[in-house]
Amino acid sequence: MLRHGEGAWNIENRFCSWVDQKLSEDGLREAEMCGKHLKFLGFEFDLVYTSILSRSIQTAWLIMQELGQEWVPVRSSWRLNERHYGALIGLNRAELALNHGEEQVKIWRRSYDNAPPPIESLKQVLERLLPYWNEEIAPEIKKGKRVLISAHGNSTRALLKHLEGTVPFYFYKFS
């Protein structure tokens, strides 16, 4: 399971969320490097899952290209999309922190269920992601399929929370 490479709005420190941004030059290189690492480590996949956002799909394609496994089926679902940041989409995180304080912005970004509407909380991300995990991805893994999930910071966080049973401490420490 991995997060996509850098997108254009990542460079500008803006909430990208469901806006369909392509990978930046660095993002393209990151995805290629990731593919090279996975190849060096001998990874092979039977199935690839992505969100319906270009940055996650492009990342998966570049990795599979580096691996020489372009033929592997790719399945895409909105349920793996980035968290929906609602009214914060497009805003700059640093400017937001100047207006609302660092701590408040951190709570909006990293708390599990403490986000005011219209911001989707991490808990809600997990709720919309779980049906896809339970009905589509987990059964394939149980059948022995080797699965690559190319998703987003918060959809991977939500899934990790589900798999680890608790909110891991590093959610708050690392971005």
Judged by beta carbon, residue 16 or residue 64, the one nearer ligand 3PG is: 16
Give the separation between CA 170 and CA 159, rounded to whole angstroms. 14
> Sign of torsion, CA 80 175 20 25?
negative
CB of 154 to ligand 3PG, least distance (A): 5
Which one from 30, 82, 120, 152 is the annotated catalytic residue? Answer: 82
| 82 is a catalytic site residue | yes
| Residue 15 or 133 with smaller CB distance to ligand 3PG | 15
Grouping H, G, I as helix, E, B as strand and the rest as coil, residue 25 is helix
The least CB distance from residue 153 to ligand 3PG, in Å, is 4
Q: What share of the chain is helix, strand, coil (3-state, %, to 5)?
A: 55, 10, 35
Residues that bind ligand 3PG (CB under 6 A): 15-17, 82, 85, 109, 152-154, 175
How does strand 147-151 pair with strand 74-76? unpaired
In single-letter form, the type of residue at position 105 comes to V
Question: Exposure pattern of 2-31 as b/e (b: 16+ CB <10 Å)?
Answer: bbbbbbbbbeeebbbbbbebebbeebbebb
Q: Least distance from C-beta 6 to ligand 3PG, angstroms?
A: 10
The smaller minimum CB distance to ligand 3PG, of residues 103 and 135, is found at: 103
- Rounded least distance, CB 109 to ligand 3PG, Å: 4
Q: Which residue has the tokens 């996650």?
A: 56
Residue 23 or 47 with smaller CB distance to ligand 3PG: 23
The residue whose Cβ lies closest to ligand 3PG is 16
Active site residue 4: yes
